[in-house]
Amino acid sequence: MNVDALYHQIYELKEQLSFLRTEYWYQTSGVDTWYFWFNIASYIVPLVILYLFIDRRRVFEIGFFGYSIHMLWGYTNNFLSINNLLVHPHSFSFLIPVGLSVTAVILPVGFMFIYQYCTNHKKNYYFYAILLSVLFAYGFGAFSIAVNLLELHKWMTLTYVFLIDVMVAFLAYWLTKFFIWIGRQSTKQQAKD
């Protein structure tokens, strides 16, 4: 098969997939289902809690940390979904086919509060991040599987979800600390000049 024919076949399959995804969403996850309202609540409730309780003196630092969690888990979730390892059968919208409520809001907000608490009270971030990862993977993950919000396929297990949570939490922490360090070095350099 030549490159043009291959591209055309991929295009046609994506069109079919988009149609099927839309039909599936309307039949199983539309406005008249509890899945839809659960997904809405998964966006709104954590953001309201974040708005009420975020440390406003450090909002950009904590926001950067949360954005790092969001991006790292978002890309990971996208990879896992594309490869049918971790599937969210009931998404917020057929336009957004992956389970963004968890990776876009719930996980980042949860880890943002852990980061805020640990850095404000000189607690061990790694310990609390592991605890929250256990809660998310084995608690929320098991709940999501039980109510058909999440399906794990092939070799994917909740233990791998836990390990990914830990990896993402640690990488986001290191990335945030790295940028804080860069900012301090810049401040020191400006003070010398």
Length of the chain as a residue count: 193
Position 37 scores a pLDDT of 93
| 130-174 pLDDT tens trace | 999 999 999 999 999 999 999 999 999 999 999 999 999 999 999
Q: Specify the number of domains making up the chain.
A: 1
Q: What is the mean pLDDT of residues 167-190?
A: 91
- Domain assignment of residue 20, yes or no: no
74 in any annotated domain: yes
On whether residue 15 sits in a domain, the answer given is: no
- Say how far apart CA 89 and CA 21 lie, in whole Å: 10
Are the beta carbons of 72 and 172 closer than 8 angstroms?
yes
- Tell me how far apart the alpha carbons of residues 142 and 16 are, in angstroms, rounded to a whole number: 31
pLDDT at 3: 92
The reply to whether 14 falls in a domain is: no
Amino acid at 167: M
Owning domain of residue 150:
31-192
151: buried, middle or exposed (CB in 10 Å: 19+, 13-18, 0-12)? middle
**pLDDT tens string 76-117:** 998 998 899 999 888 888 887 666 667 789 999 999 999 999
Whole-model pTM? 0.90
Give me the mean pLDDT over the 14-43 stretch. 91
